[in-house]
Amino acid sequence: MTFRPRYPRLVIAVLGFASGVFATALFVWQQGPFVIAAPERAVGVQRVASPADAPPAPEGTSGKPVNAARELDDRGLMVPVEGVQREALVQTFDDARGGGRRHDALDILAPRHTPVLAVEDGVAARLFRSAQGGITIYQYDPSHEYVYYYAHLDRYAENLNEGDRVSRGQVIGYVGTSGNATKGTPHLHFAIFKMTDEKRWWEGTPIDPYEILRRR
């Protein structure tokens, strides 16, 4: 009499599993234990900033400002807000800002729509709008070593375009509260920085405008 299992497929599966376990055990006994290596962590790619990603205000590259007396005292820079006397300027360069930042600029209070003036001859390198600085102008000096930064403007001067040459005392914009400026306190946020060797208009070493403008 021939024996026929009631569930032939189940019997075959069980026998196959058992033989697989036996083969694995035999391999480990002969070769020793083995470890499956985990995949390596992906190396992060450092994103390089571009002008489109530029910060709203010049990004300082040094904790200490350049010696303004040596660099810019002979330029005869004018106060960049019409009608404001040098004696009325208040030092704000070292004021603390959020996130442990330093102000690195001079705030010049004036009524809204007061003309903003180019501090010296140069080029309107960038007309830039950002959440923090609002309506801003980056002006190159004649040597293209320094950038003058005007922020929180109400608007640009009529017909001012990027790349235009500007003259000392020329109206380039108007005092306002654009960006993150307090809406009830119109003022010009004015900064000076010396560009790095890469000549990026948004990057450099900050210089205290107060020390320069008050000494003239």
Q: For the segment 178-201, what is each residue's pLDDT rounded down to a tens digit?
A: 999 999 999 999 999 999 888 888
Q: How many domains does the chain have?
A: 1
- Mean pLDDT of all residues in the chain? 77
Q: Is residue 67, in this structure, part of any structural domain at all?
A: yes
Q: Is residue 31, in this structure, part of any structural domain at all?
A: no
Q: Is residue 33, in this structure, part of any structural domain at all?
A: no
Q: What is the CATH number of the domain that holds 193?
A: 2.70.70.10
Segments forming the whole domain that contains residue 201 = 56-215
Q: Is residue 26, in this structure, part of any structural domain at all?
A: no
**Does position 55 have pLDDT exceeding 90, yes or no?**
no
Which band of pLDDT confidence, cut at 50, 70 and 90, is reported for residue 11? very low
Q: Is residue 180, in this structure, part of any structural domain at all?
A: yes
Q: Is residue 30, in this structure, part of any structural domain at all?
A: no
Q: Is residue 145, in this structure, part of any structural domain at all?
A: yes
Q: How far apart are CA 210 and CA 87, in angstroms?
A: 10
Q: For the segment 59-105, what is each residue's pLDDT rounded down to a tens digit?
A: 555 545 556 556 788 888 999 999 999 999 999 887 766 666 676 88
Query: Percent of the chain scored above 90 by pLDDT?
Result: 50
**Does position 120 have pLDDT exceeding 50, yes or no?**
yes
Q: Is 83 helix (H, G, I), strand (E, B) or coil?
A: coil
Q: How far apart are CA 146 and CA 39, in angstroms?
A: 49
pLDDT, residue 66, reads 53
Q: How far apart are CA 92 and CA 103, in angstroms?
A: 7
pLDDT, residue 20, reads 53
Q: Is residue 139, in this structure, part of any structural domain at all?
A: yes
Q: Is 140 helix (H, G, I), strand (E, B) or coil?
A: strand
**Does position 29 have pLDDT exceeding 50, yes or no?**
no
pLDDT, residue 136, reads 98
